[in-house]
Structure 1
């Protein structure tokens, strides 16, 4: 089990003790395969986005070698065009189960690579991963539409799907800023990436009509804030607008507006968005509420159907536990986590005016 001493800084009164944080990190570590891959749970599939989220949580808990192994897995399995497939069977590249290539999945490693570098200062790792991040960004930006939004997928036959998702594009906005920070560290300016990020951020902030209507999902509500495209008073107004629709007091956050189902992942991500918007007390409340999803081994159930008083689905996912640790890390002052989610040490000039000093 991960030592409580390594997770002392993740102790958050009313949410997690250091020992509980250590148990959660150990649960994620136990899910990780010897080759570095982190599936949802043993025997289930891996997707690149959730793999990175779990790796970031390991870094927040001081498990830097395990996190590095997760990123090395990505480097070994990157496709020649800079992408990754959408799903691998329990992390095995020889058993790919979705040959599609999703834009936000392929962008997100930039966030994790920067997070790991800020946590460790490992220059060899940063230099080794720079070509991986660069190739991935080029793949992603080839899917950008005229309005700035990102087509969400390239199908297995190579066809680019033009429709864009607000959640995915918001996540890509965060990833592009992290990639630009890595470019600065590499001494490799990327003006085309800057222009693309600016166009994308504007689309997320001002043009909801350019995205598929997924407004019944809570992720479309908070992801523009989580990804950094909205902040300050505008972010707080957006959160207030749909708070009563998506938040179930003492239980957590609905995944879907018309379903009596709260989920740990969405709840923890909302907590990060609340912290980023300057509402840490509300963020702490959300994390406290989802304590009912915590299992004895320190992992978290994916969700709870409160109309039936039933855990559903009956799975303990690495990414749900990862999102909780990252939310706690942001609230307790972990600098790398705050950097990638709060904008510190990311390139200036791309954020909305309300976020600038």
Structure 2
């Protein structure tokens, strides 16, 4: 596989003062391409596993960088490995036995997320043949996910290897599913194929995230549960602002990034970049830029980023890995701040369908 040889200027929108130069962006994109296998799969790093969610995140970063053929190859891998029921397994082996699943659980947010990537790729390329090929993939995946829907609108976490549903719902995962359902509805509109059941499901899920925290497992120690309702688009405006302010001092470590989980003294690149993307979506580009600038210490000379950094005791990068999805989250946040049209459309969400919200007399709790 040939690595990117992008001419100067092609990645100008990925240059962000204090965060990334255009040359550094090219190095980061080349780092992701170096990990991508000839069959299109993008594992965390060579020798590690692949999971469908992070695979899609890396594909979107490639599209944001203009590497459309590489991104299309990643989506072709997804299409080739989709199970007959519309799902994907939770992880797959890297290496010579790269077709073999490692974890036979099937997670709802993992299976929903390809809709986000497919919509992003279509917005970037306008490739109707790609949409024709991937629409049945997205449709089957969304139907599989919605089979885990609970009466309250929340989506169960996963199915066990034997197919047993796990009805417990995760706020982070459901916020990601909500985003994916909205992208799936945008794809359906592009295809002129109405899916009223998807509209009802998206509206009910968004309402559950916005108004019914009791329907989700309590994972409030994790920063993702803090910002994902904003990143996924369920909380906007004053509600988003209030939620971010409430958790800011708990999760943000000035000059270092965002904690993954409290009370652990560990900041992570992926969570930091996702928070920056959520801040950008709220209209707070200044704070987003500050967060992205704070994780420059995670950048390696090869253009990739360490997963995280332990800042107390004996400070050290941990774990000793540089993941494609960490690099991808950085590129997507920078692309949004740089005004990349498809990325802003997908993560800004202003023109994504919101579905049909249920009539509910309940108070609008955050």
Tell me if both proteins adopt one fold, taking TM over 0.5 as the criterion. yes
Match of 1:5?
9
Q: Distance in 2 between matches of 1:350 and 1:314?
A: 45
Q: State yes or no: 1:320 paired with 2:326.
A: yes
Match of 1:355?
none
Match of 1:61?
65
Equivalent runs, 1:141-156 vs 2, <5 Å: 141-156=146-161
Match of 1:16?
20
Out of 252, 265, 268, the position equivalent to 1:260 is 265
SS at match of 1:151: coil
| Cα displacement string for residues 129-188 of structure 1 (whole angstroms, at most 9, x for unaligned residues) | 000000000000000111111100000101000000000000000000000000001110
Match of 1:204?
209
Match of 1:245?
250
CA-atom RMSD in angstroms: 1.3
CA contact 1:145–1:151 (8 Å) conserved in 2: yes
SS at match of 1:253: strand
SS at match of 1:164: coil
Q: 86-95 vs 306-315, which deviates more?
A: 86-95
Match of 1:29?
33
CA contact 2:209–2:229 (8 Å) conserved in 1: yes
Shift of 1:346: 1.5
Matched positions, count: 352
Using structure 1 for the length normalisation, give the TM-score.
Answer: 0.97
Equivalent runs, 1:191-340 vs 2, <5 Å: 191-307=196-312, 308-340=314-346
Match of 1:169?
174
Using structure 2 for the length normalisation, give the TM-score.
Answer: 0.94
CA contact 1:232–1:278 (8 Å) conserved in 2: no
Structure 1 unmatched ranges of 5 or more: 353-357
Equivalent runs, 1:76-91 vs 2, <5 Å: 76-90=80-94
CA contact 2:105–2:160 (8 Å) conserved in 1: yes
Q: Distance in 1 between matches of 2:204 and 2:84?
A: 27
CA contact 1:77–1:93 (8 Å) conserved in 2: no
Q: State yes or no: 1:137 paired with 2:173.
A: no
| Cα displacement string for residues 37-92 of structure 1 (whole angstroms, at most 9, x for unaligned residues) | 00000000000000000000000000000000000000000000000000001175
Q: Distance in 1 between matches of 2:127 and 2:234?
A: 29
Structure 2 unmatched ranges of 5 or more: 359-366
Q: Distance in 2 between matches of 1:7 and 1:319?
A: 19
Shift of 1:95: 2.0
